[in-house]
Structure formats: structure tokens, C-alpha cells
Amino acid sequence: MNLIDKIKSGDFEFQDAVKLYDLELFELGKAANEIREKKFGKKTYFNINRHINPSNICKDICKFCAFSANRKNPNPYALNIDECVDIAKNAYKKGAKEVHIVSAHNPEVGYEYYMNIVKGIRKELPDIHIKAFTAAEVNFFSELSGKNYKEVLEDMIKAGVDSMPGGGAEIFDEEVRNKICKGKVSSKRWFEIHEYWHKLGKKSNVTMLFGHIENRANRIDHMLRIKALQEKTGGFNAFIPLVYQRKNNYLNVKEFLTGIEILKTIAISRILLENVPNIKAYWVTTTLNLSLVAQNYGANDIDGTIQKESINSAAGAASSNGLNLDELINLIKDSGYIPVERDSLYRELKIF
Ligand code: V47
């Protein structure tokens, strides 16, 4: 049996999965594309969304982060609740169906601030999808409020959160994690939070930050931990490999990923994570061009219009103003795929 068939059979050792990286890109791409086409044909999903980042003041220090206010980015801010609600209302008027709220861990503003942002948006916009707060924030909210993470998640639902984004996952390997984001939510707790969220009947995403100091085995380990929780709960909608952006941060990385390594990682994720429905080539960190190529290597989603992006653009990504809807649609079409606007839970809204 060849290696890919062995992996697909589910009966394999950890080292077998790491060996996938030794295969030729085209071989991986062919296998990943077969899975992609079986699930989605030539459809590529996107959504019309708006990112809101309420504050960049953070008690944690993640070395890869260029968004939080620090010596390299000395512009601390905290939006007030009305400002957040206004951003959501304006975005809704322009067609956004989802707001994606992620904040730095600002202890000054208090627990209720975060919940009130969601309540405020929900009150004004009853039918917008609110994707809010990573497991890292949930863990921080729990420290801030003295509530346990389960109570925080229950409060989030009461406030109006519909789903959770996949951030804060970074790399689950504890040794690497300790070097890049010591003090942030542990890998164990990250999974406990998502497991409980799924138990509450809600969906979430899961990311992986790669291309910094991790190695291939760390990435495989990361994916296999995701696969294991997905087998238990089925609650992940999408896996999102985030390519590390190098500017304005404190992580000293000498070698950067080749396009081939990025595509291999996307293809391997499609092969290993057959139980996670969607693989998102997030155009912000993959770049637009490579995201379009990635459609051929297992990816069936490239995120959305975003309107304003602050976390990755602070670290060098060309994404600060989001993407024009017509441009996004035409790029997908011109690359030979069928653009499909989806909602946040991957129901199809419009085929272009
Ligand atoms: O967790 C921070 C990453 C994440 C850098 O769920 C960086 O649909 C690259 O999670 N280079 C937040 N990445 C963003 C996120 C996300 C994005 C899009 C869609 C979804 C979703 C989730 O951004 C953080 C961190 O891993 N990040 N700094 C950097 N220098």
C-alpha cells in the first residue's frame, strides 16, 4: 500500500504522517485535490465579513505578534462599545453577514466590556452572525472574571455569540509553544474550551501558525490533535493554516517558507484532516495568488472580504483594507473555480 493510501486508511504511525512531506508536491496535490473535488467539486467558498479588533492592549506577550501595543507598535487603543456596534452596523449596511471579533487581552476594560460588545451588536443586528473570541481570549476572560471557562462560554452564548474563531491555537507542541507564546492558553486548555463549546452545540474553527520555529513533525502533531478532537465532537468547521508574517515582532526567524512548503502543508492537512469539512487557505497570510493556487491543493475556502484587517497586516501582510467583493469573485472564476458565497456555518447563499 502506498503512503497516502495508508494514511487514508487511518491505520498509520506518527512517523508515517511526517513522511508525507517527503513526497513530491504534485503527488500530495493530486491526493488532496481528489478529496477536495469529492467534497466540493470546483466550488470555492467565501463570505462577506468584517473583522473587529476592540483593543490592542495585551497582558500577554506572544513573540510573533505585531498587533499588540508594544515598543514596535506604540499605539495603544481600546474602542468603546458604541464604536464597535457602529462598525458592525456600517458593515451590515454594506452587506456583511458576519462580524469576526478578536481582541488583545486587555485587563483594564473588564470582563463585562467584552460581553457588552457582543450584546450591543446583537441588540442592533439580530441576524448578523457573531464569530467571536478565540480560546485564548476565553482563557483570559476566565482569569479576569474568576469564572471557569465553561461559565465564560455559557455567558458568550447568552450575550449572542454564534461561533468561535480558530485563533490562539498557534502550535500545540508544548516546547515550541513555550518559546513563542509562554503564558498564553495551554494547548490542553485550548482543546478543553473547544470541546465544551462543541458540547454546547456550537461550531468553531481551528488554526495553525506555521513557518516560524516549528518543524514538520510539530505541524503533523498539531493536525493529529485536531483530528482526535474532531473524531470526538465533529464541531470544527474549518482548518486554517496561517502562514507566519515576519515584520514588526520579536520572533527571530531566519528562514522563511517556500511556496512549495506552504502548498505541501495545505495538501497534507486536506489528506490528514478528512474529518474536518473545510480547509481554508486564508488569503491574508497565504497571499492572494498562492490561495488561488491552493484551490488545486485541497483548499475549498479562502475566507472573505474582511473590510479591515489589523492582526496580520501589522506583521506585514497586504490585507489592511480587505478585499473588494467583485475582485474576489473574479479571481476565483478566472482561476477555474466556482465562487460560492457561504454563511458562517458553510451553508451556500449564492453561486456566482
Ligand atoms: O491566533 C498573529 C495569528 C491569529 C501573526 O477562525 C499571526 O475563521 C501570522 O485566528 N503572522 C488570529 N499570523 C487570526 C485568526 C483567524 C484569522 C482568520 C480566520 C479565522 C477563523 C481565524 O493570527 C492568532 C495568530 O495565530 N497571528 N501574529 C503573524 N505575525
Q: Tell me, what's the pLDDT at 72? A: 78
For residue 278, the CA-to-ligand 1 centroid distance in Å is 17
- Flag whether the pTM goes above 0.95: yes
Is the pLDDT assigned to residue 217 strictly greater than 80?
yes
pLDDT digits (tens, 9 = 90+) for 249-265: 999 898 899 999 999 99
Average pLDDT over residues 21-48: 98
Asked which of 40-44, 194-198, 203-207, 307-311 is least confident by mean pLDDT, the reply is 307-311
Residue 299, pLDDT above cutoff 80: yes
Q: Does the pLDDT value for residue 73 go beyond 90? A: no
Domains and CATH numbers, the chain: 3-351 (3.20.20.70)
Q: How confident is the model at residue 11 (pLDDT cuts 50, 70, 90)?
A: very high
Q: Which atom of ligand 1 is nearest to the CA of 165?
A: 6
Atom of ligand 1 nearest to the CA of 209: 26
- pLDDT for 243 equals 97
Query: Does 16 have pLDDT greater than 80?
Result: yes
> Rounded to the nearest whole angstrom, what is the distance from the C-alpha of residue 311 to the centroid of ligand 1?
7
pLDDT tens digits, one per residue of 56-69: 999 999 999 999 99
Mean pLDDT for the stretch of residues 81-90: 98
**3 state SS for the chain:** CCHHHHHHHCCCCHHHHHHHHHCCHHHHHHHHHHHHHHHHCCEEEEECEEEECCECCCCCCCCCCCCCCECCECCCCECCHHHHHHHHHHHHHCCCCEEEECCCCCCCCCHHHHHHHHHHHHHHCCCCEEEECCHHHHHHHHHHHCCCHHHHHHHHHHHCCCEECCCCCCCCCHHHHHHHHCCCCCHHHHHHHHHHHHHCCCEEEEEEEECCCCCHHHHHHHHHHHHHHHHHHCCEEEEEEEECCCCCCCCCCCCCCCHHHHHHHHHHHHHHCCCCCEEECCHHHHCHHHHHHHHHHCCCEEEECCCCCCCCHHHCCCCCCCCCHHHHHHHHHHCCCEEEEECCCCCEEEEC
- pLDDT above 70 covers a percentage of the chain that reads 100
109 Cα–ligand 1 center, Å: 23
